Amino acid sequence: MEKHLTRIALFAALIAALGLLPKLTLTSGIPITAQSMGIMLAGTILGARNGALSVLLFLFLVALGLPLLAGGRGGLGVFFGPTLGYLIGFAIGAYVTGLVAERFTNRMSFVAALSGAVVGGIVVVTICGIIGMAVMMDVSLVTATGFALPFIPGDLIKAGITAAITAAFWKARPSLANAA
Amino acid sequence: MIGALSARPTALHRVSAGVKLVVLCVFCTGVSMAGWPGAGWVGLACVLLGGLALGPWFAGLILRDLKGPAFIAALIFGFQWVAGRFDLGVSLAGTLLACISAAMMLSRTTSPAELLDVIDGWLARLRLPRKYRQRLALAIALTLRFIPAISGRADVLRLAHLARSPKRAGWRLVTPLAIGTLDEADQAADALRARAHIE
Amino acid sequence: MIEAARPSETSPVRVTLEDVSLAIDGRQVFERLSLDLTPGHVGLIGRNGAGKSQLLRMIAGLVTPDSGQVRVDGFDPAKDRRRATATIGFVFQNPDHALLFPTVIEELSFGPKAQGATKAQAEQVADDLLVRFGVPAWRDRLVHSLSQGQKHLLGLMAACTNGPKLLILDEVFAGLDLPTSRSLRHILNGLGMARIEANHDLAALAGCDRVLRIAGGAVGDDGAADPVIARYMSEMEALPLAPGAL
Ligand SMILES: Nc1ncnc2c1ncn2[C@@H]1O[C@H](COP(=O)(O)OP(=O)(O)OP(=O)(O)O)[C@@H](O)[C@H]1O
Ligand SMILES: [Mg+2]
């Protein structure tokens, strides 16, 4: 019990700390932050349930007013914008990331983590984000998809890094792969 | 707890967090459901006037919080206008800004700890078993305790990398950071187990 | 229970191990170890990796042995966690891992609260403890902002919040300067609780009523402090200084 609790809590802290790392800016000018990689990592390293719980915990702290989102944003206000779908998608995405990775014999191999991160961390998060934008901005799904597309290349890079980190993680702590 | 809370007190700091949360919900629902394009802007004006009443510096604080959202609101408005839906654009942008400004007003005047107490009280009334509420409170405290520790660790790793490599560390830090976080979590679990019986 | 942090000089604790075996990641650390302790002040010595920390963790009920029985005052500390956390205080070597809360008051009121005290009662326990340790001004300090030595003291205080009969100390003085470790030791002596303590600073164990030396997964030497420590020292000084000896 204690182990689940502390892992959930400390990964929420890791997601917050990753928001403080410097941004990378792609040639397209779209900035990508390490924070959304934290979401994928929560799914690949902690597994579906604990990963999703740690993302929910992180979001809850943001809602309480702590400035933990990348760029120092926090407070209930962030849940009213068109990015609401993405925030919800983070929690679902972490869950699906873990779920997909767990289909493989070794859930922490590069391929398993990459599949999880792409399906959960990109497809699911982006779909939630698109629906969110369509609802909040009152535009069609096609239009909202247009808004979401520029972020995909950055997300693919992040999924690749996530998979590499997860595989390195598994080498360093092999027993973790069994005990999700 | 740190956070968006403004250190300089206002009259609104003294209002109970529960009341503010309920008012926020009612306000946002009202503004979104009004069905009249100007509703959001009237709502926004009310919030800003309220902020002004608490002190011009406080209204300034809220206005600064609205900088990012204002950009998004302008985008939404512009997009809808081009699509020939001027009224909808006005309404969406106004609602967005009204809700965000009201929410920021709450976050700026309410400490996270107080907000948590209110939510914990509501969860208790909803008959959520004590053990779950205990775990939530514990998880929040642990997260807050370890955020500075983990970002401090990132700084140490950056220096260690700098000492041995001419390249910038950047995201290379994330692997040791994640491994360190997991180890730290397992040590914390030990300490937790030594200190208390968690159901 | 809530009447915490009172040293109980009266009834001594009895710690027994019967045929205890423990393996970690397939490595046998202890094999059929039996012990009967009634601290006082018991010292634990042995080389790095000898198993001192694992033994202490078994006594505190933090790890469960693969076979055999551990009993503290007749109960199984790994099973009966509520009693274990009320009876045994564990002070970790590194307070950075053991301190779990953002502020000092939260840190110290956590134990009593988890034992069932109300928030007000728990904070009362914490306040009493702060006064008793002479640092009432720390109440609302951020744990993060304390110095390393101060964190060690807070770690000790946190282990005392439930008024334990037995304190377990795993190299709690490593890395502290002389005045800090001396004053911590002075405070510990004043608490009057039974203690089991692992320490590489042999001089610090000179006052123990009994010292055990752990070697090869068993008790290698056992008895009064001075002779056990003296035998250990002469043996260690005879070891070759090659990297292979690490
Ligand atoms: N987390 C762990 N995973 C695998 N093996 C471990 C772990 N912790 C301890 N061990 C092993 O258990 C044995 C006993 O370790 P323990 O930490 O109890 O030694 P110690 O006497 O406390 O040493 P030290 O003086 O260095 O603290 C060692 O051989 C060690 O390799
Ligand atoms: Mg040790």
Total tally of structural domains belonging to chain A: 1
Does residue B181 share a domain with residue B138?
Answer: yes
Q: A24-38, B34-48, B71-85, C137-151: which has the minimum mean pLDDT?
A: A24-38
State the residue range of the domain holding B184.
Answer: 120-194
Q: Do B178 and B127 fall within a single domain?
A: yes
B91 in a domain, yes or no? yes
C156 to chain B nearest CA, in Å? Answer: 11
State the complex-level ipTM.
Answer: 0.90
Asked whether residue A26 is domain-assigned, the answer is no
Cα B19 to Cα A105: distance, rounded to the nearest angstrom: 51
| Atom 5 of ligand 1: nearest residue by CA position | C24
Q: Is B38 or A25 the better-scoring residue by pLDDT?
A: B38
Contact status, residue A42 vs residue A95, Cβ threshold 8 Å: no
**What's the sign of the alpha-carbon dihedral A17, A22, A24, A25?**
positive
Question: Does residue B199 sit within a domain?
Answer: no
Same-domain check for residues B93 and B134: no
Domain membership flag for residue B5 = no
The answer to whether residue A123 sits within a structural domain is yes
pLDDT for A109: 95
Mean pLDDT of chain A: 90
CA-to-CA distance for B105 and B59, rounded, in angstroms? 9
Q: What is the pLDDT of residue C144?
A: 83
B165 and B138 fall within a common domain: yes
pLDDT single digits (tens) A76-92: 888 888 889 999 999 99
User: Does residue A15 belong to any structural domain of this protein?
Assistant: yes
pLDDT in tens, C25-50: 888 999 999 999 998 899 999 999 89
Pocket of ligand 1 contains residue C53 by CB under 6 Å: yes
Is the alpha carbon torsion for C179, C185, C125, C99 positive or negative?
positive
**CA–CA dist B152, A20 (Å, integer):** 11
Task: Show which of residues 151-190 on chain C sit within 8 Å of chain B, judged by CB atoms.
Answer: 158-159, 161-162
CB C171 within 8 A of CB C135: no
Q: What is the pLDDT of residue B20?
A: 93
Residue B157 is assigned to a structural domain of this protein: yes
> Percent of chain C having pLDDT more than 90?
56
Is A27 inside any structural domain? Answer: no
Q: What total of structural domains would you count in chain B?
A: 2
Tell me, what's the pLDDT at B44? 95
Q: Which domain holds residue A161?
A: 2-21+33-176
- Give the whole-number percent of chain A exceeding pLDDT 90: 67
- The answer to whether residues B102 and B126 belong to one domain is no
Q: What CATH number has the domain bearing residue A106?
A: 1.10.1760.20
Phi, psi of A81 (to 5 degrees): -80, 180
* C170 CA distance to ligand 2 middle (Å): 6
Contacts of A174 (CB under 8 A, 6+ apart): none
Specify the pLDDT at position A24. Answer: 66
Q: Does B188 sit within 8 Å of C85, measured CB to CB?
A: no
What pLDDT is attached to residue B3?
63
Shortest Cα distance from A171 to chain B (angstroms)? 11
How far are the Cα atoms of A13, C40, C44, C149, C176 from residue C182, in angstroms, in the given order?
36, 19, 19, 11, 9
The percent of residues in chain C predicted with pLDDT above 70, rounded, is: 94
Tell me if B106 sits within 8 A of B24, measured CB to CB: yes
Q: Does B131 lie in the same domain as B183?
A: yes
Mutate to test the pocket of ligand 1, among C21, C24, C92 (most ligand atoms within 8 A of CB): C24
The answer to whether the CB of A61 falls within 8 A of the CB of A81 is no
Residues of C in contact with B196 (CB under 8 A): 85, 110-111, 114-115
Asked if B100's CB is within 8 angstroms of A66's CB, the reply is no
Give the residue-averaged pLDDT of A55-82: 88
Tens of pLDDT, residues A121-172? 999 999 999 999 999 888 899 999 999 998 899 899 999 999 999 999 999 9
Average pLDDT of the segment spanning C86-96: 91
Which of A42-51, B100-109, B115-124 holds the top average pLDDT?
Answer: A42-51
The predicted model gives C164-190 an average pLDDT of 87
Provide CB contacts within 8 A for C129, sequence distance 6+.
C4, C5, C108, C157, C160, C161
**Among residues A174, A169, A175, which one has the least CA distance to residue A40?**
A169
| CA distances (Å), origin B12, targets B8, B114, B156, C56 | 11, 13, 41, 52
For C104, the token pair is 């000092």
pLDDT one-digit tens code per residue, A34-58 = 888 999 999 999 999 999 999 999 9
Q: What is the pLDDT of residues C198-237, one digit of tens each?
A: 998 888 898 899 999 999 888 989 999 899 999 999 988 8
pLDDT of residue A80: 86
How sure is the predictor about A28, in pLDDT bands with cuts at 50, 70 and 90? Answer: low
Instruction: List the one residue out of B167, B181, B171, B186 whose CA is nearest residue A164.
Output: B171
- Do B25 and B106 lie in one domain? The reply is yes
Determine the pLDDT at residue A70.
84
